[in-house]
Amino acid sequence: MNSLIFAGSGHGGVVALKSLQEKFSSIEVISEDREVLSLLRESDRKIGSFLDSSIELAICAGYKSIIPKDILEQKTIINTHPSLLPKYRGLHSLVWAMLNFEDKLGFTIHLMNEYIDDGDILDQFTINYKNQTSYEIMQLFDRYIRENLGRVVKEFLEGKITPTRQNREEATWVAKRNIDDCIIDFNMSNRYIDMLFKALVRPYPLPIIKNNRLYEVNGYRLISRDYRANIGQVVNIEDKSIYIKVREGLLVVEKLIDFKTKESYFANEIFKMGDRLCR
């Protein structure tokens, strides 16, 4: 077989398609992503759905739609997932893994079945966590997919890879995060708050503080101090920075971005001494 179906979008979809094009001469693509579609060769073509093709093998990368059971019964579908399955099945897996302080992070290529990220594993890529941001980690994952996805699919078709069943006893599930999940919880440990800033980076929303509006925090400093005061209250203002009491000390914030308008401010322009911030 030298043809397959590809369904995907985003940066992960782009690197996945490039990798597959190195190993397969003809690819039928399900995507509305302009960057993905710009990569189509003369031998490739855009299709509307899995059922528009007679090809039995499909690869998904950054594909967000739920694939019905009847299609899964007709096609062999390989999926890419940014966690070390069986842990962190579901959406926004990398952020959840980081917020659980996993010392090893990774990416999985696996067969798809009717359950969420439950299918047999074909290949995994593992890294030791060394204070990287989620963006830096995703760059490593993208490089792995770019260099290996086509090879893994080819070797699977050639019978060189034996799929490995996931251990359901080790499985965990996570769900899509929203803006409320970006609001800083001042009752959490300094370690957790620090990790939140590493996990929530551009191009996604940054960690947020809230009064009557939402403000992304563009830069921060944590001070460890063991003393009692009102958690979530502005307890000091020095120059352009505000000091917010958190459970294990102080969160120092200088620059803010209005989440709605995208205007930038110094923190002392928005908050005053004694303000109690919402969670």
Question: Domains of the chain: which residue ranges?
Answer: 3-174, 179-270
Identify the pLDDT of residue 149: 98
Helix/strand/coil percent split, the chain, to 5? 30, 30, 40
- 160-188: per-residue pLDDT in tens? 999 999 999 999 999 999 999 999 999 99
- Look over the chain and give the mean of its residue pLDDT values, rounded to a whole number: 97
Section 55-84 average pLDDT: 95
239 three-class SS: coil
Q: How many of the other CB atoms lie within 10 Å of CB of 28?
A: 20
Identify the pLDDT of residue 1: 72
Rounded distance between C-alpha atoms, residue 100 and residue 30, angstroms: 34
Rounded distance between C-alpha atoms, residue 117 and residue 109, angstroms: 10
For residue 98, what pLDDT band results from cuts at 50, 70 and 90?
A: very high
Residue % of the chain over a pLDDT of 90: 97
Strand-pair partners of 79: 60, 110
For residue 65, what pLDDT band results from cuts at 50, 70 and 90?
A: confident
Identify the pLDDT of residue 278: 81
Rounded distance between C-alpha atoms, residue 5 and residue 64, angstroms: 16
Identify the pLDDT of residue 17: 98
Radius of gyration from C-alpha coordinates of the chain? 22
Rounded distance between C-alpha atoms, residue 27 and residue 84, angstroms: 28
Rounded distance between C-alpha atoms, residue 77 and residue 7, angstroms: 10
Identify the pLDDT of residue 32: 96
For residue 22, what pLDDT band results from cuts at 50, 70 and 90?
A: very high
Identify the pLDDT of residue 279: 75
Identify the pLDDT of residue 273: 97
CATH code of 179-270, in short, is 3.10.25.10
Backbone phi and psi for residue 61, each to the nearest 5 degrees, phi listed first = -150, 110
For residue 64, what pLDDT band results from cuts at 50, 70 and 90?
A: confident
Backbone phi and psi for residue 262, each to the nearest 5 degrees, phi listed first = 70, 15
Fold designation for 3-174: Rossmann fold (3.40.50)
For residue 217, what pLDDT band results from cuts at 50, 70 and 90?
A: very high
Are both 3-174 and 179-270 of the same fold?
A: no
Q: How many of the other CB atoms lie within 10 Å of CB of 277?
A: 20
Identify the pLDDT of residue 66: 87
For residue 196, what pLDDT band results from cuts at 50, 70 and 90?
A: very high
